[in-house]
Structure 1
Amino acid sequence: MKNALMIIFSLFISSQVLSQTYESIFGVESTQWNITMGNLWGMATAEHRVVGDTLINNLLYQIVDGYDNTGEIMGFLREDSTHSRAWYLGRHDNDEYLIMDLNLNVGDSMFIGGNWNAGPQYYYVDSVYFKNGKKHIQFNLEVYFLDNEKFTLIEGVTSNLGFRYQDKEYINAFPTILLCAFKDGQQIFGTGDCIISSVLEESTPMKFEIYPNPFQNVITIDFNGTHEVLFASVYDLNGRRVFIEKINRSVVNTLDLKKLRSGIYFLHFQDEVGNFKHTTRIIKGD
């Protein structure tokens, strides 16, 4: 009888552990992650928000918008009923990525990939601990752009790299760092700046006009008579150059961009010797 009671007690404890419920990564009314985004001219911040939900292959996903709250869909997130595991499906992906598993113990492993990671492979959990009431799962992977801080899953947040660290699309190997996270208007992660930029500034600001912006097919650039030959390059959000043309700052220039798809782009000016001049964001309408 004593052995039977011990077995029943053990089964009860096991079921409680297996069914433990964690804090959701989603808020009730709103959810936002501020994550670094890199490109050819430096680092900036992308504010990703949950903007709705949808069914994909009979699974309920939360829809995450893209850069700067423009309504562009970046990807989809879902979590299980206990909030212990979460998956991310990129907008161009057929398969989802496991991005969080709070059931892992020391010695367990999880695949960590992403373009930023020079060694995509299975990494091992080296410690499990609680901080500020949230469970943390730390791996034996030192992240060089976080001062060699180790990659860590965080209950109710995702990870110290955010939710897109498995994303192969994420800006051509530039670091993805979670700066801040918010749920229902309350900041739940981050103590420093929530918006950063390392885009280079000119010693003398370049005065010019770009119009219309947003544009449909053609965009006009007026440098107000300043003499200098420049290259005008257009980059998409993945850092790919999709247009280049030599222009003259002494005249009004027009760029024919009708072949571009609608969306957000960066217009980058530089002189003939390759010195950085200026970068600005442009939007192509439908």
Structure 2
Amino acid sequence: MNKKKLLLLCFLLFLINIVTAQIDFTELSNRWYVARTYPNGNIQNPYFIATTTTLFGINGDTLINSEIWSKIGSTQDSIFPSTSYINLGAVKVDQNFILFIEQDSSSIDTIYNFNLNVGDSVLYYFFPYFNNYLYVDSIDSILINGFYHKRIFFETLDFPLCCRVEEVWIEGIGSLHGPLFSFYPKMLEIESYDEGNDLTCFEQNDSVIWSHPDYSDCYINIVLTINKPTINNDLFYYPNPTKGLITIDVGNTYKKINIKINNAIGDEVLNENIRSTNTILLNIKRLEKGIYFIHILADNENAVLKIVKE
């Protein structure tokens, strides 16, 4: 073998090594730990801030239109999959694009494009309020498992008196808010408390290959021990921020609902009872601009919401 052929062979082996070292978003052993920090108080501790972890992962293959896709789902347990597993849809890698089909849908969406350059933009759907473009601000590389991966920083999106979106993608891993955050984005509270929706760890083949510097553990569970079940998972409210009227859909029809509203320093500014409904229309036009906490006691269930009055 002459010198040129030897050099060519070495170069090809080098390229193969780089390709195989890249993180495959659909690798069966992939696990994403996402910690959410949010207000979840009760009557005794109305301002308690909880942190719970959702574990996302790849759970085998599925056939869609004669093509092999990878199933992606989540669980609230520390083991994946578990009895609380929820299938969220299917993902597929197409060169540097990550495609996603939501569960019970036939639409194909691009949730990641790792070919983005500075100045490019991605449209995020902040349902039900509005849509907004996030623009690439800068790009660098991060060393993971001995190999460099592209890291994409987007311009910060600020909402006065409310929220902020600081989005960062890592090639092969996805958003630092979780693998499906680009499909289910949300505005994170920054005024009354630091709401978190952070990727704490990315795990592959039972080994953590990336971890968030602000978290000491992958799986975090800080909650109040309460006897009353919460209704937060079924609850939907809008608009927030509001100019005076806010609609709260509590999911089920309750016989008796008590509503209490406290301002940011804990003063009670409203207390009223509502009977037999699943939708509440609150009029807070008389309240001053600022941050308020709505405490809902529905039959034997409860919830605490944070709203901004403009």
Q: TM-score range by the shorter chain?
A: 0.5 to 0.7
Q: Which residue of 2 aligns with 1:60?
A: 68
CA contact (8 A) 1:88 1:99 kept: yes
Provide the C-alpha distance between the structure 2 equivalents of 1:129 and 1:169, rounded to a whole number of angstroms. 23
Q: Number of residue pairs matched?
A: 204
Distance in 2, matches of 1:176 and 1:114, equals: 15
Is the alpha carbon distance of 1:149 and 1:242 closer, same or farther for their aligned partners in structure 2, counting shifts above 3 Å?
Answer: closer
Separation (CA, whole Å) in 1 of partners of 2:123 and 2:300: 43
Whether the 8 Å contact between 1:134 and 1:154 is mirrored in structure 2 is yes
Residue by residue, what CA displacement relative to the aligned partner does 1:232-271 show, whole Å, maximum 9, x if unpaired? Answer: 665657776446578xxxxxxxxxxxxxxxxxxxxxx969
Cα displacement string for residues 49-89 of structure 1 (whole angstroms, at most 9, x for unaligned residues)? 21111122344321112323334312211111x3x110222
Question: Is this contact kept in 1: 2:34–2:55, CA < 8 A?
Answer: yes
Alignment of 1:120-199 (within 5 A): 120-132=131-143, 133-142=148-157, 150-168=166-184, 176-191=197-212, 192=215, 193-199=217-223
C-alpha contact (below 8 Å) 1:234/1:244 kept by paired residues: no
* 2:112 is the alignment partner of 1:100: yes
* Aligned-residue offset at 1:121: 2.1
- Tell me how far apart the structure 1 counterparts of residues 164 and 211 of structure 2 sit (CA, whole Å): 18
Return the offset for 1:168: 4.4
Q: Residues 1-286 of structure 1: matches in 2 within 5 Å?
A: 22-27=22-27, 29-37=28-36, 41=40, 42-68=50-76, 69=82, 70-80=84-94, 82=95, 84-115=96-127, 120-132=131-143, 133-142=148-157, 150-168=166-184, 176-191=197-212, 192=215, 193-201=217-225, 236=233, 241-242=251-252, 244=254
Percent identity among equivalent residues? 21
Shift of 1:102: 1.3
Alignment TM-score, normalising by the size of structure 2: 0.52
Secondary structure at the residue paired with 2:166? strand
Shift of 1:166: 3.3
The whole-number CA distance in structure 2 between the counterparts of 1:200 and 1:243 is 26
Q: Is the 8 A contact 1:31 1:50 kept in 2?
A: yes
Kindly provide the CA deviation profile for residues 185-239 of structure 1, in whole angstroms up to 9, marking residues without a partner as x: 111222423223343346xxx5xxxxxxxxxxxxxxxxxxxxxxxx766565777
Letter in 2 for 1:120: N
Give 1:177's aligned amino acid.
D
Q: SS of the counterpart of 2:58?
A: strand
TM-aligned CA distance change 1:168 to 1:101, over 3 Å:
closer
Residue 158 of structure 1: how far off its partner (Å) = 0.9
Which residue does 2:10 correspond to in 1?
Answer: none
Report the CA distance shift for 1:180/1:86 in structure 2 as closer, same or farther (over 3 A).
same
Q: Give the unaligned 5+ runs of structure 2.
A: 1-14, 41-49, 77-81, 190-194, 237-249, 257-295, 305-310
User: CA-atom RMSD, angstroms?
Assistant: 4.2
Identify unmatched segments of 5+ residues in structure 1.
Answer: 1-15, 207-230, 247-268, 278-286
Change (3 A) 1:50 1:114: farther
Indicate how the Cα distance of structure 1 residues 67 and 242 shifts in structure 2: closer, same or farther if over 3 A, else same: farther
Find the residue that maps to 1:103 and give its secondary structure.
coil
Question: Take 1:176 and 1:45, find their aligned partners in 2: how far apart are those partners?
Answer: 9
| Distance across 1 between alignment mates of 2:185 and 2:231 | 18
Matched residue SS, 1:113 = strand
